[in-house]
Amino acid sequence: MEKIRIGTRASRLALWQANFVAQKLSENFPVEIVKIQTTGDKILDAPLAKIGGKGLFTKEIEVALAAGKIDLAVHSLKDVPSELPAGFEIAAITQRENPFDAFVSNKFDSLEEIPSGGVIGTSSLRRAAQILNLRPDLRIENLRGNVETRLKKLDAGNFDAVILAAAGLERLGYGARIKKILTEIIPAAGQGALAIEIRAGDTEIADAVKILHDEKTCAAVKFERDFLRKIGGGCQVPVGVFADKNSARAVIASPDGKKILRDSTDNLDGETFAEKMLANGGSEILRSFEV
């Protein structure tokens, strides 16, 4: 092939991810990075759950992929819906980096230190619900934008703390700003890994990206995405799931954190685990609110 065209969002984090993939592929092929603006990049004044959830960051890129304007797309796997539209497939999943959320604050070293009434910034229902369950006396305010924008809003004094994906902060060189890794907050399915999406059946590109694939990560995130698919949610419902080695844990919550179900398993079948949690109260929680 003449060259591989890599489609990506234009944020600094997305470009870091695309360049990471490009560097690996450039050992064998000429590459070109194509920047594409998505709906999620355009609408920054509303929570993700209110404007459509995960497909917001992939739809326009998939349109370009289907039209042959790019040969593959690089996504944060946590932004990819658990069911892809017809005509696409995930050809590779990279080795996972830090899968957890990070606590970032200029005033406090942990969630526990924030005084009652403190303001936490996040656009994620999953993060908000789990934080409110732990600290119902705190206030959650919507925080959208790229990593730099969110940090600037924190630095401007708009929030006492913000919650961001640790992997994104570390990739961009902001690891020193992390005050604490929130292992008690169960992350989003696929968090910390990158997905390489291609046109279904494009064997040439599929073969080219095999060097990016990490089978151990793939097994873990398959569990998580199977779980999420069975639950039937994405950004629109407060659900977290994390699988590692021989165990997994998950959470289903109401947006206000008042109703919450946590469970763990050593049976690495995501659908079976989801069915168990739905039967044990998860369905009732999901029915108790409308998004």
Residues assigned a catalytic role: 79
Residue type, position 229, single letter = R
Q: Using an 8 Å Cβ cutoff, are 283 and 230 in contact?
A: no
Environment class of 251 (CB within 10 Å of its CB; exposed 0-12, middle 13-18, buried 19+): buried
* Helix, strand or coil, per DSSP, at residue 133: helix
* Cα gap 108→106, rounded to integer Å: 6
Q: Using an 8 Å Cβ cutoff, are 213 and 231 in contact?
A: no
Q: What is the greatest pairwise CA distance in the chain?
A: 59
* Helix, strand or coil, per DSSP, at residue 214: coil
Q: Using an 8 Å Cβ cutoff, are 239 and 283 in contact?
A: no
Residue 103 CB contacts under 8 Å (≥ 6 apart), including other chains:
110, 111, 161, 163, 178, 179, 180, 181, 182
